[in-house]
């Protein structure tokens, strides 16, 4: 365990240095969600009825999930680049814990996404976002977002290891970016036609968005919190098992 932690720390520092030398990755990650936030608030927001409060307050949870979905595409990209540069083969020949290579990319993804989320929240505050959440509420929101990031990052590891091209490695995130649009992120699900409403109410993004929205508003979360955690934990377990299996099969 000590060796694993030490190796992971060294390799995480390596991948973090790559990000600091290429800050355009974080800038690119936040451009899409901030652009969507500006579009929906200042262009479309006046025509959308989503409760009595400010639309930015309603919108932000979904934008945060889109930020994460945009960010994990770079995890798959960085993993694909390392894999095809030959560095993985060098690591395999060294006396290090094998799983530390993957965990370094996963931890780097969490750090990078937390920075991106902080930037998006700062822009939302400048646009008028206000919250009645307590310190505990903010910690709960942070925990949900980090858990969601962790789950999607392990999902990103799979195409990072199996894609044939760099575009294929990152393209898997497009459906994840689109998923919040068919949820309660932008409009109440009650306004949707039957089959679309059923899908929106029974997919993971809706429960996560509703839980974060309630926490931001300082309201009782109810069952949405447990449903959101169950979705995140389920995705994490399945993605982790699949990613480790792909990694072991490739480097057996």
pLDDT tens-digit profile of 61-96?
A: 999 999 999 888 888 888 888 777 776 667 666 666
Averaged pLDDT score across all residues of the chain: 85
The pTM (predicted TM-score) of the whole model is 0.89
Long-range pairs for 228-237 at CB < 8 Å and ≥24 separation? 228/144, 228/204, 229/144, 229/147, 231/204, 231/207, 232/144, 232/147, 232/148, 232/150, 232/151, 232/204, 232/208, 233/147, 233/151, 235/151, 235/152, 235/155, 235/204, 236/147, 236/150, 236/151, 236/154
Higher confidence at residue 114 or residue 47?
A: 114
Euclidean distance between CA atoms 216 and 3, whole angstroms: 40
Euclidean distance between CA atoms 180 and 200, whole angstroms: 9
Is residue 1 pLDDT above 60, yes or no? no
Number of domains observed in the structure of the chain? 1
Instruction: Please tell me whether residue 123 adopts helix, strand or coil conformation.
Output: helix
> Cα 45 vs. chain centroid, distance in angstroms?
24
Instruction: Determine the structural domain holding residue 35 and report its residue range.
Output: 2-250
Euclidean distance between CA atoms 235 and 243, whole angstroms: 12
């Amino acid at each position: 365990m000590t060796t694993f932690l030490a190796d992971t720390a060294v390799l995480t520092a390596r991948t973090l240095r790559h990000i600091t030398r290429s800050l355009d990755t974080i800038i690119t990650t936040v451009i899409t969600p901030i652009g969507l936030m500006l579009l929906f608030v200042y262009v479309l927001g006046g025509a959308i009825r989503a409760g009595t409060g400010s639309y930015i307050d309603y919108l932000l949870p979904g934008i945060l999930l889109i930020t994460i979905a945009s960010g994990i595409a770079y995890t798959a990209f960085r993993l694909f680049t390392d894999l095809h540069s030959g560095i993985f083969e060098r690591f395999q020949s060294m006396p290090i814990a094998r799983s530390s290579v993957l965990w370094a990319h996963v931890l780097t993804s969490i750090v990078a996404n937390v920075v991106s989320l902080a930037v998006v929240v700062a822009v939302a505050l400048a646009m008028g976002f206000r919250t009645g959440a307590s310190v505990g509420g903010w910690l709960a929101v942070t925990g949900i977002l980090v858990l969601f990031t962790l789950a999607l990052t392990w999902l990103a590891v799979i195409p990072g290891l199996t894609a044939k091209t760099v575009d294929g490695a990152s393209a898997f995130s497009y459906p994840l970016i689109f998923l919040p649009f068919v949820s309660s992120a932008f409009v109440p699900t009650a306004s949707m036609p039957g089959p679309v409403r059923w899908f929106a109410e029974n997919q993971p993004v809706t429960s996560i968005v509703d839980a974060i929205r309630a926490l931001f508003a300082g309201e009782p979360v109810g069952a949405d919190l447990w449903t959101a955690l169950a979705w995140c934990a389920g995705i994490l377990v399945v993605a982790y098992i699949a990613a480790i299996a792909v990694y072991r099969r490739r480097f057996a």
